[in-house]
Amino acid sequence: MKGYVQVYTGNGKGKTTAAFGLALRAAGAGLSVFIAQFAKGMDYSEHRAFKRFADLVSIKQYGSGCFIFGEPGESDISAARAGLAEVRSIVASGERDVVILDELNIATYYKLVSVAEVLDLIQHKPEHVEIIITGRNADEKILERADLVTEMKEVKHYYQQGVEARTGIEK
């Protein structure tokens, strides 16, 4: 089966959720999945859920917390760069059918990793490997290279009424 490059971007909710839904579908079909979370270093409910599929789905974070409301620090940059190096090795091995690069668009936007490095990763992926890239502010060059692009558009969100992220729904 040919693997494609998918990008889920935009300001609306659901980018990571869509990618993780795809991971669940892939695992259900017996495909091997690796999820790399960039710019995230906190515990989320999906980590506990994916432990139930440990034989098919692995998830690893390459972040030192959550800087989204501030500026990334040196530890954020180091974590993202180490993560991209590890992901490059995982993709090149061809052992994973699906590789999800959650919040990689944020990592390129904040210059934790370069767009050129991401394009090189895509260029050298084995033919069968599906790559999914999530996060706001996707770079135009990544969008041009992708085979599928979905933009999540925020129309209305209860965050604006002060509703905090809820366990099992947003976190």
Q: Which residues neighbour 23 within 8 Å (Cβ) at sequence distance 6 or greater?
A: 33, 35, 50, 57, 98, 100
pLDDT score for 41: 58
pLDDT tens sequence across 133-160: 999 999 999 999 999 999 999 888 887 7
Q: Does domain 5-161 have CATH number 3.40.50.300?
A: yes
List alpha helices for 44-73, DSSP H.
Answer: 45-50
CA 117/CA 144 separation, integer angstroms? 15
pLDDT tens sequence across 52-103: 888 999 999 998 766 555 677 788 888 999 999 999 999 999 999 999 999 9
Report phi then psi at 127, rounded to 5: -55, -35
Q: Which residues neighbour 106 within 8 Å (Cβ) at sequence distance 6 or greater?
A: 38, 39, 68, 135, 136, 137
List alpha helices for 29-162, DSSP H.
Answer: 45-50, 74-93, 104-109, 115-123, 140-145
Q: Exposed, middle or buried by CB within 10 Å (0-12, 13-18, 19+), for 115?
A: middle
Residue type, 146: A
The number of beta carbons lying within 10 Å of the beta carbon of residue 106 is: 22
